[in-house]
Chains A and B, each alone.
Chain A
Amino acid sequence: MSDLTYVGKNIPKVDAKEKVTGQAIYAGDLQFPDTLFGKIVRCWEHAHAKVTHLDLSEAAKVPGVVKVLGPKDVTQKLYNCGVLDLLASEEVGHMLGEIEDQRIFTDYVRHQGDAICGIIAETQEIAEAAAAKVIVKYEPLPVYLQPEESAKPDAIQFDARKPGNKAFQLPEQMFPNNVYGWGDVDAEMAKAELIIENTFQLPKVKQCQIEPHAYVALFDQRGRLSIWTSTQMPKLVQNKLARLFEMPLSKLNLIPTTIGGGFGGKLGMIFEPETCAMALAVPGRHVKVQSLREEDWVASESRHPGKYWLKIGFLKDGTPVAADALFTADTGAYFTHATGVPFTTGAWLIGMYKYGAVRYKTNAYYTNKAPSGAFRGYGNPQTNFVLEQTVDQACRQLGIDPVEWRKRWHKQVGDDGWCLGIPYASSSLTECLERGAAKIGWAEKRAKYANQSGPKRRGVGVSVMNHTSGAMPMLLEHTVAKVKMNEDGSAVINVACSDVGAGSHTALTQIAAETLGIPMEDIYIDNNMDSAGFDVGSHASRTAYVGGGAVMKACEDVNRQLIERASTRLGIPVDQLEIKNRQVVSKDGKASMSVKEICNVGVSNYINPANGERNGVPGQIQGYASHFPSHNSPPFGACFAEVEIDIETGQTKVVEMVIAHDIGRAIHPPSVHGQLAGGAQQALGMTLTEEIRYDEKGLIQNNSFFDYKLFGPLDMPKLTTILVENPDPGAPYGLKSVGEAGTVNPVGAVANAVSHALGIMFTEAPITPERILKAVNERGIK
């Protein structure tokens, strides 16, 4: 056990009480006097069409309608709701081919749910009634739902800058031959004694955060544009909005609200542009925009679907001589994350195993589906489905135990991680595999389920993963933290870091309490964006790691100042002083000064009228850090799943799951367990039930919880989470990330358990009873 007081402790989260009493304010809960309601009018009947006629006159006549806004009534500037352009230099952005291609309101529909116009009215009901009176005529265009269709030479071009509707490939300047990898794949592959080659079909999956997107915006008389939003990335969205509406950041007031789940669904801008455009049209009045659940599906981003071809060559002893991969990604109707996810989907492949050589290529194409974007794991769940099943297929054919193979071939300390050139500084994956295997009874179950008969078949599967803590060095990683010491010795930490629900504000408070040596109750996390310095926002599982690093450094800066002041006052050199239990004490224990006194004297710095002397060192103490992490401390993990399949109905029950995670150090263990269990719920959905489906017109068929099925309490398996804690040398308190990682490993583990039960590998997710029964019948399994 560690000697830490706050870090690693099982304490209630800092925001739990306000949430459990219903007092936490989400954007939709905001109440302002004189609020107007905005309704975004979307195209529901087409996925690809030109607007030939837009008549807002009847809508404008509805009593209570204040304003109607068509495409020409708002800024004509294009934007990209993603944020990668703010996280890489302009040169890199140019090389990657980042483009802006979205409009607030459009006259050219590229996917169902594209925004056509906006209504601003005195009530929500009036806005909705008026929206129904908007007359739009469309000229339908051919609908492309797969990259193979939009890539055809005669297909309508989505963007002149992207010929052939190819939004992205790895750029030659950064990736010679458009390849990410190492070694001579062709030469190495020629040595292979077993080749496993498959094309996997990956589903389009939705974040399904339970809070639908909602906003309030106000353009005030002082010329400030305020936007209340539950974005995951307050600073980047503030920057994006300032750029879109051509305002200095000092006039763009972003007020973050409690976030009702994000999972990437609130990464970058979502409907902030439309909301701000409406507020700008009615100066002096708040405008509230609340999206509907069904709107979320059609109009916001979801996980990149696509085809993932993977070929791995092995020697008979299991040596993976070469891996060759091509991910054909469907970026959807707009550019959005066309660069990021297609790149990382290969990066996780690269970071996992010690292949002799590896070659990853990717092409991303436009289609008329909802734009693809960030969803927890950022390409890693896709990779896990593909890579881990490929490994298991090889193990089966080679007669090698899948756990043993992974222990032998996973990357270790000193090997390059997902970003070549950044070696792993820590890894506890072998321990994760061993502890997980023992917990689920791997060896016994593998043997027991080897030969089964009857309608119910059991299988047990394993999967491993690597992930990241923040996105450096590919993307900017930076958090500014300021720690203001109040005159009573309590502290306010001003950061732009958001808490998507994962517990990052709790973790940051623990880190501050630990570093400052004051109780958590005496620390408050302030999220005021006017005063907060820069922060990238919640993505890439970075907040505890990068934000935590910034907070730790800023707290150390406070400690340095406290010691300096005490040194001056006590006449003891700084190296003889330390902070203990809210006191600055001399190491010999003879002299001390309370932190409270130093802070108080710094503020209430009186001059003694008798002698004109001050009663101590003047100046309120503030700690500051502008923190750029030097590493990305990737976590690893191993997952074990047991399934039972009814071969007469194809129904799969996930019986048990064991998730072992290489956390470095768990700052707040209940949150880490919660992230793994919650991630499993999402991963199980992607593997077994969840997929956005389109009809031939490109209209979403299941934009509701009726037909997009999430795992409920009875569907979840018995779940054990194991935290393997070996602190990472380069991380604050040794922590490594967990958030995104949760969604990754159960994907491959369940898929492998299904193959173990049936002897059939499924290349298409989700693995539904319909697909299973079809395969069982085709193979004649009885």
Chain B
Amino acid sequence: MKTRSITLCVNGRDYTFEVPHNRTLLQALRDDLKLTDTKYGCGSGECGGCTVLINGKDNINSCLTLAAEMEGKHITTVGGLTKNGQLHPIQQAFVELGAIQCGFCTPGMVMKTASLLAHNPNPSEDDIRRGLEGNICRCTGYENIIRAVQKASQMINASATQCAGGACS
């Protein structure tokens, strides 16, 4: 199997490593870099558990993305939103609003929220529901997640320091 040497910037840190051509970004994150905060839920882009941010703004399914195509891109995972142990407002809102049950969809939901709020800082409830489509939660019925996104939007708008997408500058 042919390999390529790639450099990925994940959560602000550069990693240079060899990947087989058919390596997905999800495999590279989890298996090569041992960054297991991004989850495998279906491998077909339907559950959203593997959602990561590209260049601090756009969410993608890392299971449907080749690692080799991500050369030079800034990738943010849920772990990258936390700065010096300080929760990002989105994370804080998820904790406070009971938006987390089993937690397996949570990393993807949080990253999806980050992308949603980066594009639309004041979403309506309908915008939030539409914005979270593609990420399946089997535990919460989405109710507490939607409330958390509303709260996160308020928290971010009230704070001058933190942008929704968070990590990569």
Contact = CB atoms under 8 A, between A and B. Distances in A.
Contact of B103 (A31, A125, A260, A714): A260
Interface centre among A17, A22, A124, A674 (most CB of B within 10 A): A22
A99 interface: no
A151 interface: no
Contacts of B142: 677, 681, 712-713, 716
A657 to B, nearest CB: 10
Interface string B126-143: 001110111111111111
A678 B37 contact: no
Contact of B49 (A210, A259, A501, A681): A210
Residue among B34, B103, B104, B107 with the highest chain A CB neighbour number at 10 A: B103
A616 interface: no
B87 A716 contact: no
Contacts of B77: 22
Given A18-B103, A260-B102, A712-B136, 19 more contacts: A20-B103, A21-B82, A21-B87, A22-B37, A22-B77, A22-B79, A28-B36, A28-B39, A210-B49, A258-B102, A501-B139, A502-B101, A673-B144, A674-B144, A678-B138, A705-B46, A716-B141, A716-B142, A719-B143
B110 interface: yes
Contacts of A292: 43
Interface in B56-115: 77-79, 81-82, 87, 91, 94-98, 100-107, 110
A714 B129 CA distance: 5
Contact of A670 (B37, B43, B97, B107): B97
Given A12-B95, A704-B42, A713-B132, A19 B106 contact: yes
Nearest to B96: A12
Given A124-B31, A293-B43, A706-B44, A13 B100 contact: yes
A211 B104 contact: yes
A263 interface: yes
A210 B98 contact: no
13 contacts: A13-B100, A16-B103, A21-B79, A22-B36, A22-B107, A26-B39, A259-B102, A293-B42, A673-B144, A674-B139, A677-B141, A678-B137, A678-B138
Nearest to B46: A705
B76 to A, nearest CB: 11
Contacts of B8: none
B25 interface: no
Interface of A: 10, 12-13, 15-26, 28-29, 31, 124-125, 207-212, 258-263, 290, 292-293, 500-503, 670-671, 673-674, 676-682, 704-706, 710, 712-714, 716, 719
A29 B36 contact: yes
A674 B47 contact: no
B146 interface: yes
Contacts of B82: 21
Contacts of A210: 39, 41, 47, 49, 102, 104-105, 136-139
A101 to B, nearest CB: 30
Contact of A704 (B44, B79, B101, B105): B44
B87 to A, nearest CB: 7
A673 to B, nearest CB: 7
B104 A713 contact: no
A211 B39 contact: yes
Q: How large is the interface on B (under 10, 10 to 19, 20 to 34, 35 or more residues)?
A: 35 or more
A260 B96 CA distance: 20
A106 B79 CA distance: 42
Of the candidates A16, A209, A713, the one having the most CB atoms from chain B within 10 angstroms of its own CB is A713
A20 B91 contact: yes
A19 B87 CA distance: 12
A710 B46 CA distance: 10
A104 to B, nearest CB: 25
Contacts of A26: 36, 39, 104
A705 B47 contact: yes
A68 to B, nearest CB: 22
Contact of A705 (B20, B40, B136, B145): B136
Question: What secondary structure prevails in chain B residues at the interface with A?
Answer: loop
A261 B141 contact: no
B100 A19 contact: yes
A10 B20 CA distance: 48
B145 to A, nearest CB: 8
B38 interface: yes
A20 B101 contact: no
Contacts of A678: 101, 137-141
A620 B128 CA distance: 52
Contact of A503 (B41, B101, B137, B141): B101
A704 B129 CA distance: 22
Contact of A501 (B95, B97, B103): B103
Given A16-B100, A209-B138, A712 B42 contact: no
A183 B4 CA distance: 76
Contact of B138 (A16, A124, A682, A713): A682
Contacts of A31: 34, 36
A205 to B, nearest CB: 12
A670 B98 contact: yes
A20 B133 contact: no
Given A16-B94, A21-B78, A26-B104, A679 B141 contact: yes
Contacts of B106: 19-20
A25 B142 CA distance: 23
B146 A681 contact: no
Please indicate which of the listed interface residues A16, A678, A714 has the most CB atoms of chain B within 10 Å of its own CB: A16
A24 B30 CA distance: 14
Contacts of B98: 10, 12-13, 670-671, 673-674
Contacts of B91: 17, 20-21
Given A713-B132, A714-B130, A28 B141 contact: no
Given A31-B34, A713-B146, A208 B139 contact: no
A212 B138 contact: no
B141 A681 contact: yes
A258 B44 contact: no
Contacts of B34: 31
A261 B102 contact: yes
Which residue, B36, B94, B138, B144, has most C-beta atoms of chain A within 10 A? B138
Of the listed residues B87, B102, B145, the one surrounded by the most CB atoms of chain A closer than 10 A to its CB is B102
Nearest to A207: B138
Contact of B38 (A22, A676, A679): A22
Contact of B41 (A22, A212, A671): A212
Nearest to B77: A22
Contacts of A124: 31
A677 B143 contact: yes
A20 B39 contact: no
Q: What 4 pairs across the A-B complex have the smallest Cβ distances? A: A22-B37, A501-B102, A670-B98, A19-B103
A712 B131 CA distance: 11
B136 to A, nearest CB: 6
In the complex, which of the residues A210, A293, A682, A719 has the most CB atoms of chain B within 10 Å of its own CB atom? A210
A704 B46 contact: yes
A224 B138 CA distance: 35
A22 B78 contact: yes
A682 B138 CA distance: 7
Contacts of B40: 28, 212, 290
A670 to B, nearest CB: 3
Contacts of A710: 136, 138
A714 B133 contact: yes
B53 to A, nearest CB: 13
A27 B39 CA distance: 11
A701 B105 CA distance: 25
A18 B94 CA distance: 12
B100 A20 contact: yes
A125 B46 CA distance: 23
A263 B139 CA distance: 9
A677 B142 CA distance: 8
Given A22-B38, A210-B105, A500-B102, A16 B139 contact: no
Contacts of A260: 39, 102-104
Nearest to A676: B141
